[in-house]
Structure formats: C-alpha cells, structure tokens
C-alpha cells in the first residue's frame, strides 16, 4: 500500500500530512517531541489531502470548530478509546487527564491516558491540545508548549474575542 504525504503551511509551521489516499493517518509537527518528516518510500502528492488542507485552513482562520475527515490513526484499542474521547472535548474548552480518564470509564488511568494522548498520531484534528494538567497548567505537547498555547488561544479567541487562555 502506498503512503502519500504533503507538507502544508499553517500558522504553526509546515505540517506533515500522510495517509493512504483515502484516510489521513498522520499529522506531524515541524518541531517538538513529535516532530515528523516523511519516510523514503512515501510518495509526495498533495491531491489526497485537499479536504484536509481546506479544513485546516478554515480551522486556523477561525471558521471551523469541528473537523469532518476520514481518519485512520494506528494504535491500540485503549489508545483509540482515548483518541475518540478527545474529539468529544468541546472546541475552546479543556479537560484534565483525570477528566479524560473518567470520561472513558477508567478513572485510575490518568497516566495511561496521558501516554495515549501523547502518542496521538493526528494532533490538532484529534484535539489532544485541549488536555491540560489538573492544576490548570499546560503540560507537554508533541508540537511544543508554544504550539499548544497558540491552539488554545486560537480557539478561545473564536469563542470569546478578546480573551486569551493563560
């Protein structure tokens, strides 16, 4: 099976988009602990990502609050349960790792939830940036804390212009 890729310019840098032509399987950051680059056998082609790019542009313009894209993240059953729950965090809001663990009926699994959150292969679209520490502070993020802060500020600004997440 062929994996296609494209780098898309956004306010948070060149995002790597990768997938099989039907499903998006990866969104990689240009910096941070989850920085990703394409792999040698992949084929460069922007066509499979037209809708992804359109929706990302609308999100960054403040015109889209919920992505509707065919996604195929690769992970365990537990990781999928966490990633699915992430999509239920309302735009412009944040949950703690504990809230997320309780939401998936695993109240004692905050650390495992945090690990799954950190391995999210399609950040921004699967909004792992909406998870913060129980004390309300920003915690690690694969694209770096500045990127996480930017995304949270973007969403807050759309909902309540003039306010910033701090």
User: Catalytic positions, please?
Assistant: 128
Quickly tell me which residue has 């939401």 as its tokens. Answer: 103
CA distances from 68 to 77, 85, 107 (A): 22, 15, 29
Distance, CA of 165 to CA of 17 (rounded, Å): 27
Structure tokens at 109: 């699994």
CA distances from 79 to 39, 64, 113, 120, 145 (A): 24, 25, 8, 8, 22
Within 8 A by CB and 6+ apart from 162, the residues are: none
Asked whether the CA dihedral 143, 145, 150, 153 is positive or negative, the reply is: positive
């Amino acid at each position: 099976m062929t994996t296609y890729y494209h780098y898309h310019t956004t306010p948070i840098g060149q995002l790597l988009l990768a997938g099989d032509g039907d499903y998006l399987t990866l969104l990689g950051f240009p910096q941070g602990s989850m920085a990703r680059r394409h792999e040698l056998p992949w084929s460069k082609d922007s066509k499979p990502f037209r809708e992804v790019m359109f929706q990302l542009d609308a999100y960054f313009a403040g015109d889209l609050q919920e992505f509707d894209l065919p996604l195929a993240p690769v992970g365990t059953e537990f990781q999928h349960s966490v990633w699915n729950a992430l999509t239920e965090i309302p735009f412009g809001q944040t949950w703690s790792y504990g809230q997320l663990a309780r939401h998936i009926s695993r109240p004692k699994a905050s650390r495992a939830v945090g690990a799954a959150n950190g391995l999210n292969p399609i950040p921004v679209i699967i909004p792992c940036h909406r998870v913060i520490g129980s004390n309300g502070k920003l915690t690690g993020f694969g694209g770096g804390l500045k990127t996480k802060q930017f995304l949270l500020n973007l969403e807050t600004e759309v909902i309540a212009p003039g306010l910033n997440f701090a």
